[in-house]
Chains A and B, each alone.
Chain A
């Protein structure tokens, strides 16, 4: 055997073994970092770490409600209030909170496909005008890193992939599924910054991920002196393909056969509110397994600190309203 061939073989086995070790270690790390999202738990890493929130596997006699939402459900302790209310009423309901900061209609398609495989009794999807606005990247969470996993591929229409992915972004997603460190990276780095490993001097001047994908995207655009996409929310028209994406979401839900409640959250009306709401509500109404609870008219300046986030004193009312809507649907099932 020539020296070149021998060296090539050796390098091949070294690279192969190294890759296998790295891939196995990354999967092990992801499994170690993952956590159960039942029992008033929430997704811990803002827009990131979507693969870490593990759907509870333990069997319970209660009915399961899986919630796909945005920062309101992730960060404003709505679900713990709901659980308390359920306990007070002795209603056997278990809530699984999969809400991610910034989640939009495109994120919901993949999330719905992933959630449907666990067959919850009810899937709740939170909507607001901002769900349909082009506020930056197509995906506003890292759920796109799971879009090429077999469950999702089997449930989501190809048209969705055609519009939402390029060759490069599809490749990135596939790489992240094979080598999960790619999608864990921002989460790990964020953890490090919170462990005070770095001198404050470095932490102040080197950019570490903030775990809010849309906010980071917009901040970077401002730094570059570029126009910020979706700079002024209330004036922004919806994304051009938002109805097609909604159709694809409904198709995923129908295929999964999971009853779904669309909760239109309390939100301040925008310039395009009517243009967005009418067709969306019409399409949902036409879907046999979907219902809508519309709370958009409940928004008031004194109870909300911005377009959708309630002030702390209003949380109880907010959660109770949503809880009642969910129970209403559960009772009818």
Chain B
């Protein structure tokens, strides 16, 4: 069930109407049933994986809490982590590793018949396994108590707005919201409506209209310079608007029900350096990797060399998280390299807490600083775009071919110029919204507009969606991860 389908609209309205009329325990039962139905619409057989993950982590966390010895606690944690990584390993990575091993063995002259499973990757497996793992680890570390209600824990794992593509929530944030009665507030409802509308705008108007251009650019050979140019930037905005749009719809629908999910994107293309970028892009994953991988590996506590190794390892695994293909590993390596180079040349390290000071290193008053910031933003945006070429390419040849064609084939015909103008119409509003949000340091500035202005904005968005929104019902890119 895609967010951008009438089925989801009907499903959500039905669930929401019942939700508003029942008490807290019944709300949780309702959301749990709705979440399982939501997932079953993809493939009901894979519900068993969610149930396994839920059951194991619930039991392990309960046992960890009461375990008498550290050894028992460690074993239970190991069981939980092994189960989750085992599910990921079998359903997402098994075929990848087996086929690569097969190629390797054949190359060295030791052919060995290895069979692949040919399983379709279950939707959202990377998201909910990470979410459940973080819960057990937090209980093990003593940062939160184990959940006593299986229903509440199952809802924490399967909560439908964020089940298939995040944000990857933490137990410490989401579980209390599941366990306590939610309170609706006018402000929460206003934000919820705005997030849902903006999410649909980004997904249906921007990302899905760009999708055919991107597909065409990356499946054409040889590609012309203008096609490569538009294809590269179109993919940068497609992936941003697709994923950020999904996250906003998830946050918005959850907010309408009184839940507060974490922010997943914070104007990422206005980042000035790699470190800044990862505080703004897919925040729930980058903070997960920081807390459960980078810091346990030692973080930056054991000298620069070890820090670089930890950074590289974290980003490589972060890349692999996106999918069982070498290009994702390479993309992770590219970003790891950017982070290492940035650290090497960094004069004053940014605060690690992701505070606003870190997000805007330049004081706004200084014109020179503003220009410097603009240069840094544009420069880094192009590095990110190069990374997206690695991420999206059909073959590694394209990673070099696209920039090469852009530089050498600057032959813009009328149709190309026209397409560029339409590209501006598609992505222009998103860029403008991000710039204003960054300048005002307020991502939800629209919510504070006077009532008539706000309603006019909503009606405009609805009209644009109705008239120009894509009806291709494109899958969300991150569903495949």
Chain A residues within CB distance 8 Å of chain B: 4, 7-9, 11-12, 15-16, 19, 166-168, 171-172, 174-176, 178-179, 181-182, 185-186, 189, 192, 197-198, 201-202, 204-207, 209, 220, 223-225
Q: Which of B5, B37, B41, B418 interacts with A201 by CB under 8 Å?
A: B418
Q: Which of A167, A181, A201, A207 interacts with B472 by CB under 8 Å?
A: A207
Contact bitstring B320-349, A, C-beta under 8 A = 1, else 0: 000000000000000000000000000000
Residue tally, chain B, CB below 8 Å to A:
41
Given A12-B17, A223-B216, are A205 and B418 also a contact pair (CB < 8 Å)? yes
Contact bitstring B1-18, A, C-beta under 8 A = 1, else 0: 100011101110100110
Given A7-B184, A206-B209, A225-B219, are A167 and B5 also a contact pair (CB < 8 Å)? no
Q: Which of A8, A182, A189 interacts with B6 by CB under 8 Å?
A: A182
Report B471 CB to chain A, min CB distance, Å.
6
With the chains together, A207 CA to B214 CA distance in Å?
Answer: 13
Q: List 10 A-B contacts (CB under 8 A).
A: A7-B185, A11-B184, A15-B16, A167-B37, A168-B1, A202-B422, A206-B422, A206-B468, A209-B471, A220-B472
With the chains together, A182 CA to B394 CA distance in Å?
Answer: 35
9 more contacts with CB within 8 A, not counting A168-B41, A171-B7, A204-B415, are A8-B184, A12-B20, A167-B37, A167-B41, A171-B11, A182-B10, A189-B471, A207-B209, A207-B472
- B41 and A185 form a contact (CB under 8 A): no
Q: Which of B10, B212, B218 interacts with A171 by CB under 8 Å?
A: B10
Contact bitstring B406-419, A, C-beta under 8 A = 1, else 0: 00000000010011
Chain B residues near A186: list those with CB within 8 A. Answer: 471
Chain A residues near B415: list those with CB within 8 A. Answer: 204
- A167 and B20 form a contact (CB under 8 A): no
- A171 and B21 form a contact (CB under 8 A): no
Chain B residues near A174: list those with CB within 8 A. Answer: 10
Chain B residues near A204: list those with CB within 8 A. Answer: 415, 418
Report B439 CB to chain A, min CB distance, Å.
29
Q: Which of A167, A178, A192, A209 interacts with B40 by CB under 8 Å?
A: A167
- Between B20, B219, B472, the greatest number of chain A beta carbons within 10 A of the residue's beta carbon is seen for B20
Report B239 CB to chain A, min CB distance, Å.
16
Chain A residues near B7: list those with CB within 8 A. Answer: 168, 171-172, 175
Contact bitstring B30-74, A, C-beta under 8 A = 1, else 0: 000000010011101000000000000000000000000000000
Chain B residues near A15: list those with CB within 8 A. Answer: 13, 16-17, 20
* Nearest opposing residue in chain B for A181, CB measure: B6
- A197 and B467 form a contact (CB under 8 A): yes
Report A172 CB to chain B, min CB distance, Å.
4
With the chains together, A19 CA to B14 CA distance in Å?
Answer: 10
- A205 and B419 form a contact (CB under 8 A): yes
Report A222 CB to chain B, min CB distance, Å.
8
Given A15-B16, A175-B10, are A4 and B40 also a contact pair (CB < 8 Å)? no
Q: Which of B183, B418, B471 interacts with A4 by CB under 8 Å?
A: B183
Chain A residues near B183: list those with CB within 8 A. Answer: 4
* Nearest opposing residue in chain A for B426, CB measure: A206
For chain B, residues 152 to 210, give those with C-beta under 8 angstroms from any C-beta of chain A.
Answer: 183-186, 189, 209
B291 an interface residue at 8 Å Cβ cutoff?
Answer: no
Contact bitstring B360-378, A, C-beta under 8 A = 1, else 0: 0000000000000000000
Chain A residues near B422: list those with CB within 8 A. Answer: 201-202, 205-206
With the chains together, A225 CA to B394 CA distance in Å?
Answer: 10
- A179 and B6 form a contact (CB under 8 A): yes
* Nearest opposing residue in chain A for B189, CB measure: A11
Given A205-B418, A205-B422, A225-B218, are A11 and B20 also a contact pair (CB < 8 Å)? yes
